[in-house]
Amino acid sequence: MNADSPRPNLAPLTLHVPEPRYRPGDEADFSDIGVLPAGQTPRPDSAAPAAEMRDMVYGLVRVLDDDARAIGPWDPRLSPDTLRKMLRSMALTRAFDARMFRAQRQGKTSFYMKSTGEEAVSVGATFALQRDDMCFPSYRQQGILIARDWSLVDMMNQIYSNKGDRLKGRQLPIMYSTIEGAFFSISGNLATQYPQAVGWAMASAAKGDTRIAATWCGEGSTAEGDFHSACMFATVYRAPVIMNIVNNQWAISSFAGFAGGEATTFAARAAGYGIAGLRVDGNDPLAVYAATAWAAERARTNHGPTLIEHFTYRAEGHSTSDDPSAYRSADEATKWPLGDPIARLRDHLIGLGEWSLEQHDAQDQELAETVKAAQKEAEKNGILGHGMHQSFDTMFEDVFEELPWHLVEQRDQMRAERAASGIREGA
Ligand SMILES: Cc1ncc(C[n+]2csc(CCOP(=O)(O)OP(=O)(O)O)c2C)c(N)n1
Ligand SMILES: [Mg+2]
């Protein structure tokens, strides 16, 4: 009670400040998390009005059950060959992450971000999209490029900012960009890709194209204004876009509660905008595939956007600059109820009689070798911090079609100063 209050007979107002359930040293226990059994969430028609789909945002699309069998209406019935390709892309993503994380620790680059535990989110979705559908990812969907068989050497060149780097060292490592890969430039400014994706999708429709857009952001990033203005445009114009929220429970050291995760599901954002919303087991590659295929069909047949929450868990640190042991319980990842996405698909294939543990181990070995060989190749182009990989002049190029006078002046001044101090180009 506050005696200075004008109404001392009323209890003072208070704020709710979210607090994660477990901190370092605590034993995590998620047994009370309401994970619906596989096969329970219904599959509406992809043309269903959003208003008839409101329950979906509180459900959980799951195909693989606890015994790794595919069940229920969302089973995409993929061929064993496709399942094996999907498994391979996920395992390759993990192998790539492991190697590049090590490269950062060895001082070969300044920064890296792994997607461990979230490989199904990017790989599963990519398999359900067309190769030329435009992706607007966040920094944790390297699996898209890998599932599109993009060159690992090319990705590494960017990570090393070396002379093979198509972005000429102008982007933070891992912020890839490739038109040919239909992979839009990653931005460090969270959620900017959301309105860009919606705008691209609107342009595609305005031009009478058939390509759709897909975008991804973390659950923390949904607190950004950009997320909401994107939803607004998407619903008003029924833009052909798939908006993915990767709910991996953490935004660096802030848990999902700070982005509204205590109050409702992230998929429920869709209902407020009148957008079709799906909530999906993000550690189930078949569920991610099925939900994306559903949303792609909806978008391509002009029934509008879909917002998909992928319920998953960030198994490792946010980036190489992070130390999660400082803010969360060490055993959270192993206690997470949805398991590991690679192990789940592996076990599914084994259950079908289409794969074995021996084959899996052999593939892991082979993929580690593949990544190692790519790394050797990329390092021939140099590593970060070892010499100048691009000429100084390049800092003025590629923005304006014709260099404006003030930049011409600055460039000439730079050249003159470098010449005067006896520096050779490339040194
Ligand atoms: C506009 C903006 N605000 C803050 C940051 C700093 N920042 C970088 S990543 C991050 C956490 C994002 O978490 P989430 O959206 O959940 O994605 P995740 O890293 O979990 O995949 C923050 C706060 C930023 N890059 N941009
Ligand atoms: Mg997150």
pLDDT of 268 above 90: yes
Mean pLDDT along residues 138-162 = 98
Residues above pLDDT 70, as percent of the chain: 98
Local structure of 183: helix, strand or coil: strand
Query: What is the position in ligand 1's atom list of the atom closest to the CA of 118?
Result: 21
Do residues 239 and 304 touch, judged by C-beta distance below 8 A?
yes
Q: What is the chain's alpha carbon radius of gyration, rounded to the nearest angstrom?
A: 24
Helices of type H across 301-395 = 332-335, 341-351, 357-379
Q: State which of 190, 248, 321 you would mutate to test the pocket of ligand 1, scoring each by most atoms of that ligand within 8 A of its C-beta.
A: 190
Q: How confident is the model at residue 34 (pLDDT cuts 50, 70, 90)?
A: confident
pLDDT, position 424: 66
Pocket residues: Cβ below 6 A from ligand 1: 138, 140, 188-190, 217-221, 246, 248, 250-252, 314, 318
Contact criterion met (CB below 8 Å) for 169 and 390:
yes
Residue 73 DSSP code: T
Angular region, 425: left φ>0, alpha ψ -120 to 50, beta rest: beta
**What distance in Å separates the CA atoms of residue 415 and residue 392, rounded to the nearest whole number?**
9
Tokens of 114: 């792994």
Q: What does the block give as tokens for 58?
A: 């509180």
Ligand nearest to the CA of 223: 1
CB–CB of 212/201 below 8 Å?
Answer: yes
Q: What is the mean pLDDT of residues 239-252?
A: 98
Closest-lying ligand 1 atom to the alpha carbon of residue 139: 21
Q: What mean pLDDT do residues 139-159 have?
A: 98
> Which residue puts its alpha carbon closest to atom 21 of ligand 1?
218
Nearest to 234, CA basis, from 277, 297, 293, 187: 277
- Per-residue model confidence as pLDDT tens digits over 42-81: 999 999 999 999 999 999 999 999 999 999 999 999 999 9
pLDDT range class, residue 379, cuts 50, 70, 90: very high
**Region 423-427: what's the mean pLDDT?**
60
Confidence of residue 1 (pLDDT cuts 50, 70, 90): low
Region 114-123: mean pLDDT is 98
Task: Output 392 or 122, whichever has higher pLDDT.
Answer: 122
Question: Closest-lying ligand to the alpha carbon of 227?
Answer: 1
d(CA 55, CA 74): 16
Q: What pLDDT, on a 0 to 100 scale, did the predictor assign at position 49? A: 97
Q: What is the average pLDDT across 311-337?
A: 95
Decide which of 388 and 317 is more confident. 317
Instruction: Say if residues 161 and 191 touch (Cβ distance below 8 Å).
Output: no
Q: How many residues does the chain have?
A: 427
User: In this structure, what are the phi and psi dihedrals at residue 241, rounded to the nearest 5 degrees?
Assistant: -140, 145
Please, what is the end-to-end C-alpha distance for the chain in angstroms? Answer: 70
Q: Rounded distance, CA 112 to CA 104, Å? A: 7
Q: Per-residue pLDDT averaged across 160-172, rounded?
A: 95
Residues 180-209: what's their mean pLDDT?
A: 98
Instruction: Please determine, for residue 115, whether its predicted confidence score (pLDDT) is greater than 90.
Output: yes
- Per-residue pLDDT, averaged over 107-132, amounts to 98
- pLDDT of the residue at 2: 65
| Rounded distance between C-alpha atoms, residue 328 and residue 257, angstroms | 14
Number of neighbours of residue 226 by Cβ within 10 angstroms: 19
Per-residue pLDDT band at 31 (split at 50, 70, 90): confident
Q: How confident is the model over 355-377, as pLDDT tens digits?
A: 999 999 999 999 999 999 999 99
Q: For residue 193, what are the CA distances in angstroms to 179, 184, 266, 270, 314?
A: 15, 8, 18, 18, 21
pLDDT of residue 426: 54
**Is the sign of the CA dihedral 384, 390, 396, 400 positive or negative?**
negative
6 pLDDT above the threshold of 80: yes
C-alpha to C-alpha distance for 3 and 327, rounded to whole angstroms: 38
Closest protein CA for atom 3 of ligand 1: 190
- CA angle, 417 as apex, 413 and 422 as ends, to 5°? 150
Is the pLDDT assigned to residue 249 strictly greater than 70? yes
Query: How many whole angstroms from 32 Cα to the centroid of ligand 2?
Result: 21
Note the pLDDT tens digit of each residue in 197-230: 999 999 999 999 999 999 999 999 999 999 999 9
Whose C-alpha lies nearest to ligand 1, atom 17?
218
Q: Which DSSP helix (H) or strand (E) runs through 247?
A: strand 241-247
380 has a pLDDT exceeding 90: yes
Q: Could you identify the residue written with the tokens 């990812």? A: 137
Minimum CA distance residue for ligand 1 atom 19: 251
The full DSSP string for 302-325 is: T---EEEEEE----S-SSTT--GG
Q: How far is the CA of 93 from the centre of ligand 2 (A)?
A: 19
CA–CA gap between residue 341 and residue 202 (Å, rounded): 33
Q: Tell me, in angstroms, the distance from the centre of ligand 2 to residue 111's CA.
A: 18
Distance CA 318, CA 310 (A): 17
Give residues whose Cβ lies within 5 Å of ion ligand 2: 218-220, 248, 251
